[in-house]
Structure 1
């Protein structure tokens, strides 16, 4: 069985623990009994996502699996992450998981993706570093519309280089590396992507007041949409994004970094089907 730090989902870890011992006659009933549960299938349901672990149950299961030290700390954090009620709790739990991994010189799979999508700094500095060959840290910091320190710029460049998102040529100039980070490459990355969308959404609102109208473009529609048309619109947005990426990829002489937010969200609850009459009857 792999080290616990190679797991990000405690339910998968419980399943892996069971599978490793099943060949020796170990059953879900045995697992439950060792953990102090009366239901013989309780932990099976937990592994399938049908049940959760209470704080007390976490300690029972960890004890049954003989988890101690950093393994116990990591397992507790995995449970907290999975069962968190909001993004703030998830962030806290993930930070604890990352701290355990770092202390044991292990990288959580997908951590580069999480870091990159978790802050506006990384995608912006990545673009600026390439568009400003030979620029100093101060030059890059000054080019950012958001406040950023020289240390943050330096740390961002180091991360981007180590993550193979940037590479330095023999003249010390940055080039885009071939590696592409996917926002769907790890099950916890969507948390970072949501943080990115929140940051960029806030910046977009601020730009209404702070950026001249001829340097930004805001447009929108409020419309009635069927479920079928919604799917067609989503596909059209994806194609539009692809075409824009094609324009950017073939473009030259970059002189500014922009952010494009594409947002489609409901402004009402779902209505009755078939335009059913809302007037009172009888």
Structure 2
């Protein structure tokens, strides 16, 4: 589902959210409304139909129901104000805030030559790291990456990132990101993303020994589920991923580059229904 930042009508966003949840689970208007703490079981349905509006408190409750955080939550606040404003001045002020948030947190869709960004892990890492180290020389940045590549490789990578408009050079050895979030086009995704996932999986394995527990987080669940459960879990993971992106892009700056892998894969072949056993869960 699209981010709320791509909408200019909060009712359309809320209705799309409801339809998205309903397609992947036994979601109802009653459950949707209950998640927000509203007393009337059909209140959010009436809102989406334009028969009611959201109060200041109602905006926060609706945001809670849709698990909006960070920039997405603030955009939703301004979006409701924009739609419900009675005065032109209030509407204009809310819309101005929406544009500021949308500009700061826009998502760039990578297509054509720019998809080579995913050909090596150094490009995503340096896109995050270089703005954190204003004035740093390529050798310093290379050292910050644990010496995984040379100063010359860093210099060439920064040149590519600047040329392809992933970074903007604002002063000598000072860079800032052009876009806050990136997303690859569906056409280009399969081959390059598979290669990137393999590369990052190796780094994840190495980090178990390389970093202490307080600097990394590994958890896992081994579980027996069916196809319906699988689709529900994928929906939850996508919701979680979007919330994390919102948190990570809510402010500029940082002091370290992290990689988060969300992985779910089969450990067995599918079992025929007649041979299936009751669901089990086991934490690792």
Pairwise same-fold verdict (TM > 0.5): yes
Shift of 1:274: 5.3
Q: 2:182 & 2:252 partners in 1: Cα distance?
A: 23
Contact 2:165 2:178 in 1 (8 A): yes
| Partner in structure 1 of residue 139 of structure 2 | 138
1:1-282 aligned at under 5 Å gives the runs 110-113=112-115, 115-145=116-146, 147-170=148-171, 173-178=174-179, 181-185=182-186, 187-273=187-273, 275=275
Q: How many pairs were matched up?
A: 167
Shift of 1:183: 2.2
3-state DSSP class of the match of 2:223?
Answer: coil
Q: 2:182 & 2:112 partners in 1: Cα distance?
A: 9
More strand by share: 2
Shift of 1:184: 2.6
The answer for unaligned runs of 5 or more in structure 1 is 1-108, 278-282
Shift of 1:255: 0.7
Question: Which structure ranks higher in relative contact order (CA pairs < 8 Å, sequence separation ≥ 6)?
Answer: 2
Shift of 1:169: 1.6
CA separation of 1:235 and 1:152: change in aligned 2, threshold 3 A: same
* Deviation readout 1:94-116 (Å, 9 max, x if unpaired): xxxxxxxxxxxxxxx62221x11
Contact 2:138 2:155 in 1 (8 A): yes
Contact 1:130 1:173 in 2 (8 A): yes
Shift of 1:179: 7.9
Shift of 1:162: 0.8
RMSD, aligned α-carbons: 2.0
With normalisation by structure 2, the TM-score equals 0.55
* Deviation readout 1:46-81 (Å, 9 max, x if unpaired): xxxxxxxxxxxxxxxxxxxxxxxxxxxxxxxxxxxx
CA separation of 1:245 and 1:276: change in aligned 2, threshold 3 A: closer
Which protein is bigger by CA-based radius of gyration? 1
With normalisation by structure 1, the TM-score equals 0.55
Contact 2:181 2:249 in 1 (8 A): no
